[in-house]
Amino acid sequence: MSTAIRGDDGLARCPWGLSAPDYVAYHDEEWGRPVRDDQGLYEKLCLEAFQSGLSWLTILRKREAFRAAFHGFDPEKVAAFGPADVERLMSDAGIVRNRAKIDAAIGNARAALGIPGGLAATIWRHADPDAPGHADMDDVPAVTEGSTALAKELKRHGFRFVGPTTAYALMQACGLVDDHLTGCHRRGAYR
């Protein structure tokens, strides 16, 4: 029996997808949809790192401010950031002002530009389209062998704030695994 919950519109969703109004659109239109370009994956990776220790809802509500502050998450532009940009970001109340995470975002842009074959190819090598479905949120893992391998590979290329849990959240958000619950209307939507 799935723990997916029917919304007012009659559609069954993962429980978190109905926990706040902002989550409905994110759940239905974005989470789990494949992201296959370097810039899109770099943005998601940065946002997942900024989320570490915080609510995803906080990051989701600040996303447009993050995009403005980080020039649309263009890795070439962010890689060129210097000390004045770091200070600008540290004074931007629209984003999460954590120096270690800001430094990681800049360093990760530089790493993304230097990764052989590109960021997307590296990340998508770790896709697991045949991962088993789960009926209950309690059964969805926080870490897998695949996310551990992805985190290790990214760290080898110089990425920071990309542990196995962050890597798995990235895999879920970007469609490398389908962790919509088996009763959810989005399960299998992107195959």
d(CA 63, CA 47): 8
Would you call 56 a catalytic residue per the annotation?
Answer: yes
Look at residue 153 in the predicted model and tell me its pLDDT. 98
Contact by Cβ (8 Å): 9, 25: no
Tell me how many degrees the CA angle 175-133-1 measures, rounded to the nearest 5.
135
- pLDDT, block means (10 residues), the chain with 191 residues: 91 95 96 98 98 95 98 98 98 98 98 97 95 93 97 98 97 97 94 76
Look at residue 6 in the predicted model and tell me its pLDDT. 95
Look at residue 147 in the predicted model and tell me its pLDDT. 98
Look at residue 129 in the predicted model and tell me its pLDDT. 87
d(CA 62, CA 57): 9
Would you call 31 a catalytic residue per the annotation?
Answer: no
Look at residue 60 in the predicted model and tell me its pLDDT. 96
Task: Supply the Cα-derived Rg of the chain in whole angstroms.
Answer: 17
For the record, the structure tokens of 160 come out as: 């920071």
Of 48, 64, 76, 168, catalytic:
48
Of 16, 26, 30, 153, catalytic:
26
Contact by Cβ (8 Å): 3, 181: yes
Would you call 48 a catalytic residue per the annotation?
Answer: yes
Of 31, 42, 56, 124, catalytic:
56
* pTM for the model: 0.96
SS3 165: helix
